């Protein structure tokens, strides 16, 4: 891990994400890329006019630069390499563009606690980032004076398509020095026996060279509740799950796990695309 992207609207929530990114950057010697999006309506722009010649764009660029300078002066960013990025596309396209151009290893995004994603981080754009990003996304809910995840829950149905995202999650668990708690949630609509669940999980894990893990089967009314209740029971530091690019967030047992888990889980959530 060498490059971390932090989308920011300069809100408290976005700064909480930046503080976590700063801790990771110091510990693992990463560069931070701060991204601010200026969504100037395209219909107001003459096709022959570039953004650099647009008065509104120039004004907001200068304002963003001033806010960047104030952020970069913060003590928690001292001795870190921080790059400024301003994009004029929507959030989803901007994140995709910067990740591809700069070969970003991790996106860290802030959210408004249990009340959903905040301002620029709300709605269809964020859902697209989380759902389709090829780069892992870490969603942070609050300020973490010490972000040092040691108990990492990875929830899945443990079918073959989950092996790629699990491999990515395993890489981060190794970097963090975290124990992985592999979790399979059984629901009434998609129920299999405990022995069948354990056999599937053991078959899934056998080809991965990793020993610091445990296997868990949890019965619950919904997958979302099962993940959150289990994470609470072991005091997990981080929840990981796979995402499916076409159909929404984290498809387990042939069903959808709502984006409410990303928005409302009290713990940080990390997503990995299938």
For the domain that residue 66 is a member of, what is the CATH number?
3.40.50.620
Asked if residue 47 is part of any domain, the answer here is yes
Q: What mean pLDDT is predicted for residues 49-78?
A: 80
On whether both 133 and 207 belong to a single domain, the answer is no
In this prediction the pTM is: 0.86
What's the total number of domains in the chain? 2
Count other Cβ atoms within 10 Å, centred on residue 40.
Answer: 15
Measured between alpha carbons, how far is 148 from 74 in angstroms, rounded to an integer? Answer: 21
Measured between alpha carbons, how far is 238 from 140 in angstroms, rounded to an integer? Answer: 10
Q: What mean pLDDT is predicted for residues 175-188?
A: 94
Asked if residue 146 is part of any domain, the answer here is no
- Cα distances (Å, whole numbers) of residue 7 to 13, 20, 98, 239: 11, 13, 10, 21
Q: Residue 240: beta bridge partners? A: 154, 270
Residue 133's domain comprises 3-140
DSSP H helices in 112-259: 124-132, 163-176, 194-205, 223-233
Q: Which of residues 116, 140, 164 is at a domain's end?
A: 140
Asked if residue 239 is part of any domain, the answer here is yes
Q: Which of residues 117, 140, 163 is at a domain's end?
A: 140
Q: What mean pLDDT is predicted for residues 134-153?
A: 93
Asked if residue 145 is part of any domain, the answer here is no
On whether both 210 and 267 belong to a single domain, the answer is yes
Sorted by sequence, the CB contacts under 8 Å of residue 80 that are 6+ apart come out as: 22, 25, 26, 31, 32
Q: Which residue has the tokens 């151009």?
A: 101
Q: What are the tokens at 100?
A: 């591809």
Cβ contact 31:38 at 8 Å: no
pLDDT attached to residue 216: 96
Residue-wise pLDDT for 111-136, tens only, equals: 765 555 444 444 445 566 777 788 99
Residue 259 — very low, low, confident or very high, per pLDDT cuts 50/70/90?
A: low
């Amino acid at each position: 891990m060498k490059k971390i992207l932090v989308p920011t609207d300069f809100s408290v929530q976005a700064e909480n994400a930046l503080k976590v990114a700063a801790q990771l950057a110091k510990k693992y010697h990463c560069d931070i890329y701060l991204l601010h999006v200026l969504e100037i309506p395209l219909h107001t722009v003459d096709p022959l006019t570039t953004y650099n010649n647009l008065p509104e764009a120039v004004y907001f660029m200068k304002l963003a630069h001033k806010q960047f300078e104030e952020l970069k002066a913060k003590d928690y960013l001292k001795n870190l390499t921080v790059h400024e990025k301003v994009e004029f596309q929507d959030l989803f396209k901007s994140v995709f563009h910067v990740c591809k151009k700069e070969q970003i290893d991790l996106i860290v995004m802030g959210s408004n606690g249990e009340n959903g994603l905040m301002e620029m981080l709300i709605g269809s754009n964020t859902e697209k980032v989380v759902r389709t990003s090829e780069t892992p996304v870490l969603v942070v809910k609050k300020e973490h004076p010490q972000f040092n995840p040691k108990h990492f829950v990875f929830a899945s149905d443990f079918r073959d398509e989950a092996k790629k995202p699990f491999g990515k999650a395993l890489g981060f668990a190794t970097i963090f020095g975290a124990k992985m708690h592999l979790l399979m949630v059984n629901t009434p609509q998609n129920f299999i026996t405990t022995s069948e669940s354990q056999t599937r999980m053991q078959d899934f894990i056998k080809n991965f060279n990793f020993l610091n893990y445990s296997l868990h089967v949890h019965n619950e009314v919904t997958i979302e509740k099962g993940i959150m209740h289990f994470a609470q029971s072991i005091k997990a530091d981080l929840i990981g799950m796979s995402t499916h690019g076409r159909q929404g967030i984290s498809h387990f047992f042939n069903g959808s796990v709502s984006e409410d888990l990303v928005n409302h889980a009290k713990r940080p959530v990390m997503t990995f695309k299938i």
